[in-house]
Structure 1
Amino acid sequence: MKQSLFPAKVLLFGEYGIIENASGLSIPHNFYQGTLKFHSNLSFNKEFLHSNSQLEKYYKFLLFLEQKKKNLAKIDLKNFYEDIQKGISFHSNIPQGYGIGSSGALVAAVYDKYAKNKLCLKKRNIISLKKIFSQMESFFHGKSSGIDPLICYLNLPLLIRSETDISSIGIPEKNNFQGKGGGAIFLIDSGFPRKTSSMIEFFFVKLKHDSFKTILKEEFMKYNEKCIESFLKGDFKILLKNVKLLSTWVFHHFRPMIPKNFLKIWEEGLFTNLHYLKLCGSGGGGFILGFTPNYEISREKLKQYATEVLFRF
């Protein structure tokens, strides 16, 4: 039987803004993937043992929802529990706490394997799937938009306009601009995972202030929108200008979300125009997104950190 592989995701634009109904653009990242898999010799593999026990905790969470008659996903819990006892686990190379959807891929895999009445992949079902995944992923983060599992499940780029306006979208093909220039959008490994909950808590505290709410809407959301627009048009010169505005805004208003070892690098990029950095998800660690007109120079400058190209232009 063919294994179903579920990719990681990268939120290119929209971190935090999505919470306030701003636009977002998220893409699957197939370099990292996960799948549910049986292992015949669990006792000799700590990772499989840990994953198996996590799945059992997850089963108990879904069982609680079922008992309260709130289980939107209608998961076949009997089958799920039996497979956990037989030694199923989530086999994945998606780093946890890095902002690229490790829990989203797991949720997508559980839904795909155990949902009794899976929704077919039609546009009208996207919002229903998002609600289902929001509930299923809340086990991991306390609160979830459902976007991460949705991306991992559909394996398609999604343009998020609002909570009720989400659609799959075509994006510039990587191959279309390979070799045309030295520019790139890339991931940087900060070197340590982050805690999503503490970053989101910080954001909600700031959101209580009307002055912050105003500049979030008048500045951050405007820059974010222009970034999405220029990226989808393939206008990378304009994209870099808008990413610089976004990066500057984040540096001034979301500083606690930037890993301390990146504050100087972040600021230097803004002054030299060598590259512009932005949060990849909630921030605080994990991956950071980089946008550069010359990837070779940026890679050399950042050589103490692992980098990985998403797009060349």
Structure 2
Amino acid sequence: MKGPLFYAKILLFGEYGIIKDSKGLAIPYNSYQGALIKSDKISEIAKDSNLKLDKYYAYLSNLKTDLVVFNLQEFRKDLDEGMYFDSSIPQGYGVGSSGALVASIYDKYASNKITVLENLTRAKLLKLKEVFSLMESFFHGKSSGLDPLNSYLSLPILINSKDNLEPTGIPSQKEGKGAVFLLDSEIIGETEPMVSLFMNKMKNEGFRKMLNEDFAKHTDACIEDFLHGNVKSLFGNVKQLSKVVLENFKPMIPSAFHKVWQHGIETNDYYLKLCGSGGGGYILGFTKDFNKTKTILKDYKLELVYRF
């Protein structure tokens, strides 16, 4: 048995802001994927995954909700036969490793599931997001449900607000010099402590004001520019966003990258922003000249996401 593939995701814009109801834009990232597998040859990694799925099975068995029903008998049988989640998605990197797992479990075991092939009304999208939020809370304590939604649909999703989501198209890639890229911090990040830190910061009136005004304004402008292919304007807004994040989200940026972040803003060679909750994992970068940026950041691992 090998289940369908579910991809990683990248939240291009909107990290933290979407917790507080501002805009976001998430896209599938097909370089990494995962699938449910049953095999006779079980490795140590597969055994470990099977044990974790066993705990997840217990969590879903005790879930009190009218939103979704799972075929738990089949899930139990597959686990007993050694099923595991075979994934290349790095964990703790902000690219949706648990989201892909949740999407694969929903796809295989949810009764009366909403499928990608039907007309995805806003009501259906919100229901899916709610179901995925419940399912993914096992991993993070609190989840928006967006990562599994993105992985399940394998479509770019525009988040207008908590109750207003829509699949969207993004401009096709061009063979230009510019790029969106991932910078590997080589540090594992944990979502839960970062979100707790953010929630504590939200108690501060000045921080809330910054989030509702500066952060939301630049995030919304970046999303508008990206979706409409306004590359010149996009870089101006990403620079402003990069500054706001460096000034106000420093604890979420690994300290070894504060200078690298600042250097990009000062030279305009590239701009960095958080990818997911931060604290490690990937950092998202935007550059007008990817080859030049690769030379400047030659000591780091970079991955290409999208070309302008």
TM-score between both structures, scaled by the size of structure 2: 0.97
Structure 2 CA distance for aligned equivalents of residues 147 and 277 of structure 1? 22
Structure 2 match to 1:50: 48
CA contact (8 A) 1:62 1:71 kept: no
- CA-CA distance at 1:39 after TM superposition: 1.7
Q: Unpaired runs of 5+ in structure 1?
A: none
Name the CA distance, whole Å, in 2 between partners of 1:188 and 1:244. 17
Superposed CA deviations along residues 149-199 of structure 1, whole A, max 9, x for unmatched, are: 00000000000011110000010112xx11xx3111111111121011111
Indicate whether 1:205 and 2:200 are aligned. yes
User: Partners in 2 of 1:13 and 1:133 — Cα distance?
Assistant: 20
Kept after mapping to 1: 8 A contact 2:2/2:36: no
1:133–1:146 CA contact under 8 A, matched in 2: yes
Q: Report the CA distance between 1:2 and its aligned residue.
A: 6.7
Output one character per residue of 1:260-288: Cα deviation in whole Å (capped at 9) or x when no partner: 11111001111111100000000111011
Q: Which residue of 2 aligns with 1:196?
A: 191
Structure 2 counterpart SS, 1:208: coil
Cα deviation 1:288-313 (Å, max 9, x = unaligned): 10001111110111112111111111
The 5 A counterparts of 1:145-294 are: 145-174=144-173, 177-178=174-175, 181-294=176-289
Which residue of the partner structure matches residue 41 of structure 1?
41
- Counterpart secondary structure, 1:198: helix
Structure 2 unaligned runs (5+)? none
Structure 2 residue 107 is matched with structure 1 residue 112: yes
Cα 1:142–1:71 shift into 2, 3 Å: farther
Find the aligned partners of 1:73 and 1:309 in 2 and give their Cα distance: 37
Give 1:89's match in structure 2, choosing from 76, 84, 88: 84
Percentage of identical aligned residues: 50
Q: Tell me what 1:141 maps to.
A: 140
Alignment: residue pair count = 304
Matches within 5 A, 1:63-78: 63-65=61-63, 69-70=64-65, 72-78=67-73
- Partners of 2:6 and 2:167 in 1: how far apart? 17
Q: Distance in 1 between matches of 2:210 and 2:98?
A: 32
SS of aligned partner of 1:192: coil
The answer as to whether partners of 1:191 and 1:305 remain within 8 angstroms in 2 is: no
| Residue number in structure 1 paired with 2:125 | 126
Q: Is the 8 A contact 2:2 2:37 kept in 1?
A: no
Q: Which runs of 4+ in 1 moved over 6 A?
A: none
Aligned match of 1:304: 299
**8 Å contact from structure 2 (residues 2, 38) kept in 1:** no
Work out whether residues 72 and 135 of structure 1, in 8 Å CA contact, stay in contact via their aligned partners in 2.
no
**1:258, CA displacement in angstroms?**
0.6
Counterpart-to-counterpart distance in 2, 1:231 and 1:129 = 26
State the SS of the aligned residue for 2:65. coil
Q: CA 1:216/1:287 → structure 2, altered by over 3 Å: closer, same or farther? A: same
* SS of residue paired to 1:205: helix
| Structure-2 separation of matches of 1:252 and 1:30 | 32
2:41 and 2:206 map into 1 onto residues whose CA distance is: 57
RMSD across aligned C-alpha pairs, in angstroms? Answer: 1.1
Matches of 2:192 and 2:253 in 1, distance apart?
15
Name the CA distance, whole Å, in 2 between partners of 1:139 and 1:157.
25
CA distance in 2, matches of 1:208, 1:226: 26
Q: Is the 8 A contact 1:73 1:111 kept in 2?
A: no
Give me the whole-angstrom Cα distance separating, in 1, the residues matched to 2:223 and 2:209.
Answer: 21
- Which residue identity is paired with 1:274? D
Counterpart amino acid of residue 22 in structure 2: A
